[in-house]
Amino acid sequence: MRLHRLAWQDSLPPSMTLPRWLAMAAFLSFPAGAVADFGNQLPELLTHEDPHFPFKMNLGSDQRALFHIIVTADGRAKNIQILRSTRPDMEEPFVDGLLKWRFRPGMINGEPTEMEVNQPVSLTVFTNAVGVIGMVDAGHSSWDIPPQAPPGLPAEFEYDEAPQPLLTLPAVYPRNMLVQGNKGWATVGFIVDPTGRTRHFVVVDASRPEFGPPAIAMFQSWVFAPARQQGTPCWAAVKIKQKFTLAAEDIQADDNTDHVVRALRDSPCPIIRDPRELDALPVPLYHPNPTLTYEIIRDKVAARAVIEIVVDKLGHAQAARVVSSSRDDFGWAAATAAGRWHFTVPTKGGSPVDAFVTIPFSFSPPQPRAEPAELQIEGADGNWGAYRPYLENLIGNVRTEWAQAVARRADSLHAAGNTVEVNFILNSRGEIARVLSVHPSPGTDPAVIKVCVDSLRAGSPFGVWTDDMVSVLGPSREITIGFTYR
């Protein structure tokens, strides 16, 4: 089915106070009948469940978020993405609620159709009620970022409008620290560039070294509106202290974390490790990807990590741990992502249980596609002057074969910037008598060299020489053709 993209910018009801159990209904309220002509209809919320807000949540605070979802043709929410959020601890209850909602699907020409939705909301959580207070355009920060740049920084880091977090995600509590009951903090310094991307992280200070990497990974996952100097986006140096306690709102922990920690401390550990003991493997329902750091993208190298989590009796990921990683920054980025996953509830004999789950993550940098750029004859001496049309036909044949060969292998052929020179003997029958030598640029993949030689052979024969050509050029001639890839 065709996937339709919709975005309602003014779909929120007037400001109101609702019973707590109606909180999620207000969170995504679709205007029924907004597109009702000719069998077209927006998705309509049919059923919802009361979200469970963490006990540690600071009631009375302003909650803002922007989610992207796909409402499927059978009325479920899938491919949930959080785009903007000013509270890390709001992600889990919102996602829980969205996964349980049921919709009357959107209709196009009377046919149920998947629809993509961007929905901005703003909630204020009171002791026993939730009020919908308006639309979100940008986030706000409860973290201490000075409104003006600290003195003594280079001129390019001076700003009069501080960078503002737009998407804030929680930090992983290192499992060994969690199990041992160690609390602490880490102060992290980093740069926010004029596009809002973070880079160049450093642990300024930490109560224990174990808290530094997860703190860095947390801030690397954030999205910022850049700092400004006289209205123009600019660089900013930021320093933030992150606390690691289960009560912190920006730590991956909920009301079930204590139960999981106690189980991890027990000997023998009651958490199921062998998946064969489960009725079925837990299925990921919400699975955000790791945030690729500036350094990973810059380095253009593959990265791998294996993360172990505990999927608890509610299907939430708990106690993420880096089992292995090819580089530390990707390992902690993967752990930060895995700690946010939601699954189907693991069961044994029909009863919910806690289970260990291992998740492999990998990143392969995009490779530049190989494209034929230039093909030229480099070894044709002056005797060929009167026979340029023959050489042009030769070049045309080889170019056609070369372009087709590259197109067939575009996804696996990594040749951008490479050159290959092929020196060969062309006889009077227009055939390649033999290839004398091949001279590739340093580091050229053997597969790239083979494509050039094969394209040259596939283009021949190039036509029998005339008697005049034979009298001038002889029975054969040495030629060099240069292949250049874009």
In this structure, the answer to whether residues 359 and 380 fall within a common structural domain is no
In this structure, the answer to whether residues 12 and 114 fall within a common structural domain is yes
Whole-angstrom distance, CA of residue 91 vs CA of residue 96: 9
pLDDT at residue number 371: 54
Domain of 37, CATH number, reads: 3.30.2420.10
Using alpha carbons only, give the angle 248, 330, 93 rounded to the nearest 5 degrees: 35
In this structure, the answer to whether residues 345 and 381 fall within a common structural domain is no
- Which helix (H) or strand (E) is 117 found in, with range? strand 115-125
β-strand pairing of 355-363 with 351-352: unpaired
* Bridge partners for 123 per DSSP: 63, 132
337-361: average pLDDT: 96
Does residue 250 fall inside a structural domain?
A: no
Given 82, 101, 132, the domain boundary residue is: 132
Contact 181, 203 (CB under 8 A): no
Tens digits of per-residue pLDDT, 197-210? Answer: 888 999 999 999 99
Tens digits of per-residue pLDDT, 22-65? Answer: 333 334 444 433 444 446 788 887 877 656 666 555 544 556 67
- Structural domains of the chain, count: 4
In this structure, the answer to whether residues 96 and 18 fall within a common structural domain is yes
* Higher per-residue pLDDT: 225 or 54: 225
Contact 126, 59 (CB under 8 A): yes
DSSP for residue 146: -
Does residue 333 fall inside a structural domain?
A: yes
Contact 106, 4 (CB under 8 A): yes
Question: Crossing angle, helix 446-459 and helix 388-408, to 10 degrees?
Answer: 130
Contact 185, 206 (CB under 8 A): yes
In this structure, the answer to whether residues 208 and 290 fall within a common structural domain is no
Q: In the predicted model, is pLDDT for residue 141 greater than 60?
A: no
- Outline where 209-322 has alpha helix (H): 212-220, 257-265, 294-299
Given 244, 273, 300, the domain boundary residue is: 244
Could you tell me the pTM of the whole model?
Answer: 0.68
Residue-range definition of the domain harbouring residue 445: 372-485
- CA 435 to each of CA 239, 427, 439, 478, 485: distance values in angstroms, whole numbers, following the listed order: 63, 12, 11, 10, 21
Using alpha carbons only, give the angle 88, 214, 123 rounded to the nearest 5 degrees: 5
